[in-house]
Amino acid sequence: MCLAVPGRIISLTNDTDPLARKGQIDFSGITKEISLAYVPEAGINDYVIVHAGFAISLLDEDEAHASLQAFQALNEFRNEE
């Protein structure tokens, strides 16, 4: 099973090569450097879907919040067991 998670771009590299462009992505308090090669239009404060170290698509802010709430609810449910 593959899982892609939403995150918010908090900073970008200044690389002029679009295939080498990366950004720091915030995943609810955890930040990771992620490739933005597949989403050249992405900017700071945009939400992206990330899979295997690559942002694979842009995500609407409302959709991102709904996904993050669903992950949080799943985590809370899991911790109740």
Q: How many domains does the chain have?
A: 1
Contact status, residue 37 vs residue 15, Cβ threshold 8 Å: no
pLDDT of residue 79: 75
Q: For 8-81, where are the alpha helices, taking DSSP H only? A: 61-80
Contact status, residue 52 vs residue 44, Cβ threshold 8 Å: no
Burial of 67 (0-12, 13-18, 19+ CB in 10 A): middle
pLDDT in tens, the chain (81 residues): 567 889 999 999 977 888 999 999 999 899 999 999 999 999 999 999 999 999 999 999 898 888 888 878 877 777 776
Instruction: Name the residue range of residue 67's domain.
Output: 5-80
CATH of the domain at 42: 2.30.30.140
